[in-house]
């Protein structure tokens, strides 16, 4: 090994917050390259974060191996990860291992792609005469003769010589731009709002964030496509994010038709590790022009990035819920800033955070006001539930409306975010609900299986014969889930085909697609489903939508429940009754006078959103304040509260802390859960407070006895 002089700072792929120093052979490998390092009694893989002189007082060991010749990520993405680790106060090693494809974390090589061609570098000798070995002379002459050489065209002895050339930088990879054949299917002639949106996007320079707001069918995707095309034609790349794998096929198909399948790739957790690695490598080398993916694709490197799109930006799926709790939407904005490119957040129902950013002028707000197919949006109506007997969870008036819809030869859709037959089994005599032994939640009754199931931890049990509280045999299902809706509706309309869509019925994306396309053309028909139905799919034959449990969204301890309700209602409304079928959306509720519902009646998301923003402002909640949680969980509640109390005592002066408070679900899978709320007037203040507080938490006496994590900009409580 050569002289050892450089010191490197390494984040080991693990949840450790600490980084470690090692010595590396000179010249030091660059930040962003992987190393194997001695660690405890064994070896670990990690990534180099920085190089430089060793901090005083540290005796560093020698690295075991350097795995990459080049950094795995361009500098912009390395900065994004540094930012993301810092902003979400997460361990850098786990930030990197979340971002990288699994195979890279396991030490596999980044495939060097056979399509790479090489040219002579500036340092190369100018003629074969300067070289001694015959092999070297021959290879140099090949390069001088042919100009560009592909590695796979070389014989294996030639390849050895080639590697020595590469090491000396005599040869280097040359960028060849994929040739972008012009559009396959012609683009549409744009409507005036679309044209204006494109004009604004085109006139931006460098980093520019946009909110593209428009109802479903207003042509947002068309704007993304036409915008992307301008870049793709120049060999530049675009990244499209969607919230769920289920939404990928439709946009993928449109992109492939428009641009050619060879230029488009998808990246999501449904791919094999090899496929992910391959897309990663190709995108990083610029061979793929358009990457479509879910949350994790925000980390896919692009050689020539030009545009980032976040479709359905309001969707909570963009926030990771375990490990590193990042928001892919928010990181997309940061990435666009680092890459100096425009970023478009699209939605029919933007999140209040994004709307507020637009109102403050931080994002440019673009509107698509009309539907391209001039379809009308359904009428939204309120159905007051008062002293009426429900049939399987449905008001008789809703069933009546369903009957009329079916008679008219249309489809009816019932939306209920609760699977199973009933959310609880309750004792008729003492009122006890049978609850999960491991969670603070009642067990859901699945009648077809004749079992009780916990939807939070997977616990399940046959139904007990007698109430565990009083021994009475009178256990009855309370409330309604999709299974019960299905039972009642199919009994009431026995000759009408019915499709139920929830996680108990539908297990794969393919099943969902097949089921939906089978029902698509059947009229009349009934659809019953959870939010699985609400996202992304279009229901042209649906003329009636019944939203069954509106009240859950009105009276929830989660302050975002109202926003979610408004989004769900308008998303479902926007996907039903297209073209010539105007249709109705009926909201079944016990509180018909609720102000949020009255705003929804207008069918305008902006009205409801303004109302919700005012509520948030009055209650000093995000987006008017910045919020973070310190969460802790353990089998023993005493430890959870003990740790959180210590954390509060260790907090610097002037922080606005509340708690410890039990989480909305106090116990889950046997773990007690509690949290501290940290509020600050701005993200900047919040960050500087967390910076002084969080690093010390790991050395609190109770810190090792609980699982604890920081959740910045939390979506779940």
Which of Zn ion, ligand ADP, none binds 457 (CB below 5-8 Å, type-dependent)? Zn ion
> Rounded to whole angstroms, how far apart are CA atoms 140 and 135?
9
Q: How far is the CB of 307 from ligand ADP (least distance, A)?
A: 16
> Rounded to whole angstroms, how far apart are CA atoms 375 and 574?
10
Which of Zn ion, ligand ADP, none binds 217 (CB below 5-8 Å, type-dependent)? ligand ADP
188 binds ligand ADP (CB under 6 A): yes
Q: How far is the CB of 368 from ligand ADP (least distance, A)?
A: 7
Check: CB of residue 228 under 8 Å from CB of residue 238: yes
Which of ligand ADP, Zn ion, none binds 187 (CB below 5-8 Å, type-dependent)? none
The two three-digit tokens of residue 473, written as one number: 């045999």
Q: How far is the CB of 575 from ligand ADP (least distance, A)?
A: 9
Alpha helix positions (H), 181-327: 192-202, 220-232, 248-259, 273-285
> Rounded to whole angstroms, how far apart are CA atoms 609 and 164?
63
15-23, 91-99, 216-224, 423-431 -> range binding ligand ADP (CB under 6 A): 216-224
Of 455-494, binders to Zn ion (CB under 5 A) are 456-457, 459, 467, 469-470, 472
> Rounded to whole angstroms, how far apart are CA atoms 164 and 10?
28
Residue keyed to tokens 């600050």: 680
Nearer to Zn ion, 472 or 620 (CB): 472
567 binds ligand ADP (CB under 6 A): no
Q: How far is the CB of 373 from ligand ADP (least distance, A)?
A: 6
Nearer to ligand ADP, 196 or 645 (CB): 196
79-87, 215-223, 478-486, 578-586 -> range binding ligand ADP (CB under 6 A): 215-223
Q: How far is the CB of 63 from Zn ion (least distance, A)?
A: 45
What is the β-pairing status of strands 208-214 and 411-415? unpaired
Sheet holding 444-446, edge to edge: 444-446, 451-453, 460-462
DSSP H or E run through 219: none
What is the β-pairing status of strands 34-39 and 65-66? antiparallel
Give the residue from 610, 621, 540 showing the smallest Cα distance to 575: 540
Q: What is the residue-wise DSSP string for 553-606?
A: HHS-SSTTHHHHHHHHHHHHHHHBS-TT---EEEEEES-TT-HHHHHHHTT-HH
Which residue in the set 191, 243, 553, 622 belongs to the binding site for ligand ADP (CB under 6 A)? Answer: 191
Nearer to ligand ADP, 189 or 465 (CB): 189
Sign of CA dihedral 487, 490, 491, 493: positive
246 binds Zn ion (CB under 5 A): no
Q: What 3-state class would DSSP assign to 143?
A: helix
The two three-digit tokens of residue 345, written as one number: 């957040």
Q: How far apart are the first and last CA of the chain?
A: 53
CB atoms within 10 A of CB 615: 16
Nearer to ligand ADP, 219 or 342 (CB): 219
Of 418-447, binders to Zn ion (CB under 5 A) are 427, 429-430, 432, 436, 438-439
Q: Where does residue 454 fall: left (phi above 0), alpha (psi -120 to 50 degrees), or beta otherwise?
A: beta
Q: How far is the CB of 224 from ligand ADP (least distance, A)?
A: 8
83 binds Zn ion (CB under 5 A): no
How buried is residue 311: exposed, middle or buried, by Cβ count under 10 Å (0-12/13-18/19+)? buried
257 binds ligand ADP (CB under 6 A): no
Which of Zn ion, ligand ADP, none binds 438 (CB below 5-8 Å, type-dependent)? Zn ion
Taking CA 190 as the corner, what is the angle to CA 186 and CA 193, rounded to the nearest 5 degrees? 155
263 binds ligand ADP (CB under 6 A): no
216 binds ligand ADP (CB under 6 A): yes
> Rounded to whole angstroms, how far apart are CA atoms 321 and 328?
12
Nearer to ligand ADP, 217 or 350 (CB): 217
86 binds Zn ion (CB under 5 A): no
Which of ligand ADP, Zn ion, none binds 688 (CB below 5-8 Å, type-dependent)? none
Which of Zn ion, ligand ADP, none binds 470 (CB below 5-8 Å, type-dependent)? Zn ion
Check: CB of residue 120 under 8 Å from CB of residue 142: no
The two three-digit tokens of residue 480, written as one number: 């309604």
Give the residue from 175, 163, 178 showing the smallest Cα distance to 117: 175
559 binds Zn ion (CB under 5 A): no
Which of Zn ion, ligand ADP, none binds 218 (CB below 5-8 Å, type-dependent)? ligand ADP
> Rounded to whole angstroms, how far apart are CA atoms 192 and 197?
9
Nearer to ligand ADP, 242 or 499 (CB): 242
Q: How far is the CB of 427 from Zn ion (least distance, A)?
A: 3
Nearer to ligand ADP, 193 or 713 (CB): 193
Q: How far is the CB of 88 from Zn ion (least distance, A)?
A: 28
Nearer to ligand ADP, 290 or 416 (CB): 290
454 binds Zn ion (CB under 5 A): yes
> Rounded to whole angstroms, how far apart are CA atoms 592 and 389?
17
How buried is residue 716: exposed, middle or buried, by Cβ count under 10 Å (0-12/13-18/19+)? middle
Q: How far is the CB of 255 from ligand ADP (least distance, A)?
A: 12
577 binds ligand ADP (CB under 6 A): no
Of 370-399, binders to ligand ADP (CB under 6 A) are 372-373
Nearer to ligand ADP, 95 or 232 (CB): 232
Give me the residues that bind ligand ADP (CB under 6 A), please.
188-191, 194, 214, 216-222, 372-373
Give me the residues that bind Zn ion (CB under 5 A), please.
427, 429-430, 432, 436, 438-439, 454, 456-457, 459, 467, 469-470, 472
């Amino acid at each position: 090994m050569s002289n050892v002089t450089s010191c490197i700072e390494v984040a080991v792929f693990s949840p450790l917050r600490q980084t470690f120093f090692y010595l590396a052979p000179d010249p030091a490998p660059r930040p962003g390259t992987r190393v194997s390092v001695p660690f405890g009694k064994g070896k670990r893989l990690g990534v180099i974060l920085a190089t430089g002189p060793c901090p005083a007082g540290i005796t560093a060991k020698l690295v075991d191996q350097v795995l990459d010749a080049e950094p795995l990520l361009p500098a912009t993405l390395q900065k994004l990860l540094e930012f993301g680790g810092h902003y979400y106060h997460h361990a850098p090693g786990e930030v990197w291992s979340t971002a990288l494809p699994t195979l890279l974390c396991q030490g596999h090589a980044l495939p060097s792609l056979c399509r790479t061609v090489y040219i002579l570098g500036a340092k190369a000798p100018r003629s074969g005469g300067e070289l001694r070995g015959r092999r070297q002379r021959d290879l140099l002459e090949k390069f001088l003769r042919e100009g560009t050489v592909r590695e796979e065209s070389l014989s294996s002895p030639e390849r050895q010589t080639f590697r020595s050339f590469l090491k000396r930088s005599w040869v280097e990879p040359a960028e060849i731009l994929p040739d972008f054949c012009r559009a396959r299917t012609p683009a549409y002639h744009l409507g005036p709002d679309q044209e204006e949106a494109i004009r604004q996007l085109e006139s931006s320079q460098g980093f520019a964030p946009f909110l593209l707001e428009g109802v479903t069918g207003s042509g947002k995707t068309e704007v993304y496509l036409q915008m992307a095309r301008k870049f793709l034609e120049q060999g530049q790349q675009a990244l499209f994010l969607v919230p769920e794998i289920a939404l990928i096929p439709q946009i993928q198909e449109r992109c492939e038709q428009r641009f050619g399948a060879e230029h488009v790739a998808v990246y999501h957790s449904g791919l094999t590790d090899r496929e992910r690695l391959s897309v990663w490598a190709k995108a990083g080398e610029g061979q793929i022009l358009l990457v479509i993916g879910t949350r994790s694709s925000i980390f896919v490197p692009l050689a020539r990035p030009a545009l980032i799109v976040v479709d359905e930006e309001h969707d909570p799926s963009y926030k990771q819920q375990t490990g590193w709790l990042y928001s892919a939407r928010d990181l997309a904005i940061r990435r666009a800033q680092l890459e100096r490119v425009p970023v478009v957040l699209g939605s029919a129902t933007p999140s209040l955070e994004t709307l507020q950013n637009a109102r403050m002028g931080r994002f440019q707000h673009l509107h698509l006001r009309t539907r391209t197919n001039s379809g009308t949006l359904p009428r939204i109506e309120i159905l007051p539930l008062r002293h009426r007997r429900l049939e399987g969870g449905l008001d008789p008036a809703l069933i009546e409306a369903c009957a009329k819809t079916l008679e008219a030869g249309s489809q009816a859709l019932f939306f209920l975010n609760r699977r199973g037959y009933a959310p609880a089994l309750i004792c008729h005599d003492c009122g006890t609900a049978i609850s999960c032994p491991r969670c603070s939640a009642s067990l859901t009754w699945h009648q077809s299986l004749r079992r009780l199931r916990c939807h939070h931890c997977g616990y399940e049990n046959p139904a007990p014969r007698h109430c565990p509280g009083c021994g009475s045999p009178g256990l009855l299902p309370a409330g309604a889930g999709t299974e019960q809706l299905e039972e009642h509706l199919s009994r009431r309309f026995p000759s009408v085909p019915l499709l139920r869509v929830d996680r108990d019925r539908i297990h794969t994306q393919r099943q969902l697609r097949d089921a939906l396309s089978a029902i698509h053309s059947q009229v009349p028909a009934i659809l019953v489903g959870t939010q699985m139905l609400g996202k992304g799919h279009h229901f042209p034959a649906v003329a009636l939508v019944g939203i069954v449990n509106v009240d859950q969204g009105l009276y929830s301890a989660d302050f975002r429940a109202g926003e979610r309700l408004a989004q769900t209602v308008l998303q479902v409304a926007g996907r039903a009754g297209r073209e010539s079928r105007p249709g109705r959306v009926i909201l079944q509720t016990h509180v018909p006078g609720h102000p949020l519902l009255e705003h929804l009646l207008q069918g305008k998301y902006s009205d409801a959103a303004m109302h919700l923003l005012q509520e948030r402002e009055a209650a000093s909640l995000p987006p008017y304040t910045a919020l973070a949680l310190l969460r802790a969980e353990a089998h023993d509640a005493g430890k959870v509260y003990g740790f959180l109390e210590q954390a509060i005592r260790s907090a610097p002066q002037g922080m606005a802390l509340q708690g410890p408070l039990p989480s909305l679900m106090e116990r889950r899978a046997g773990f007690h859960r509690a949290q501290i709320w940290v509020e600050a007037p701005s993200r900047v203040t919040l960050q500087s407070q967390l910076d002084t507080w969080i690093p010390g938490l790991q050395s609190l006496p109770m810190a090792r006895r609980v699982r604890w994590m920081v959740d910045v900009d939390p979506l779940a409580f």
